[in-house]
């Protein structure tokens, strides 16, 4: 059987979830603040900007989730 001590919860998961929510909220506010300047661009450029801004937040997510699970950044 597996050791029950290996299933002991850590502070990283709740702290990571709170940090993730706060960071995503801040990022959303920044992108929403850019809506007026982006809205003045041509439609195809707007589309590309929103595609990039909609996916760029995913770049650090993998390492962050690994940290939440293991305590290591990579």
Locate 39 and state its tokens: 């809205």
Q: Is residue 4 part of a domain?
A: no
Domain containing 48 equals 9-70
Q: Is residue 30 part of a domain?
A: yes
Q: Is residue 61 part of a domain?
A: yes
Q: Is residue 3 part of a domain?
A: no
Q: Is residue 66 part of a domain?
A: yes
Q: Distance between CA atoms of 48 and 73, rounded to whole angstroms?
A: 30
Q: Is residue 64 part of a domain?
A: yes
Q: Is residue 2 part of a domain?
A: no
pTM for this model (two decimals): 0.77
Q: Distance between CA atoms of 52 and 49, rounded to whole angstroms?
A: 5
Q: Is residue 45 part of a domain?
A: yes
Count the domains in the chain. 1
Q: What angle do CA 12, 18, 21 make, to 5 degrees?
A: 135
Comparing 44 with 11, the larger pLDDT belongs to 44
pLDDT single digits (tens) 37-49: 999 999 999 999 9
Q: Which secondary structure element, helix H or strand E, spans residue 66, and what is its range? A: helix 61-70
């Amino acid at each position: 059987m597996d050791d029950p001590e290996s299933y002991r919860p850590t502070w990283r998961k709740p702290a990571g979830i709170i940090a993730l929510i706060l960071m995503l909220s801040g990022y959303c506010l920044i992108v929403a603040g850019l809506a007026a300047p982006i809205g003045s661009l041509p439609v195809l450029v707007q589309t590309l900007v929103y595609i990039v801004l909609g996916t760029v937040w995913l770049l650090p997510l993998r390492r962050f989730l690994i940290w939440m699970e293991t305590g290591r950044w990579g």
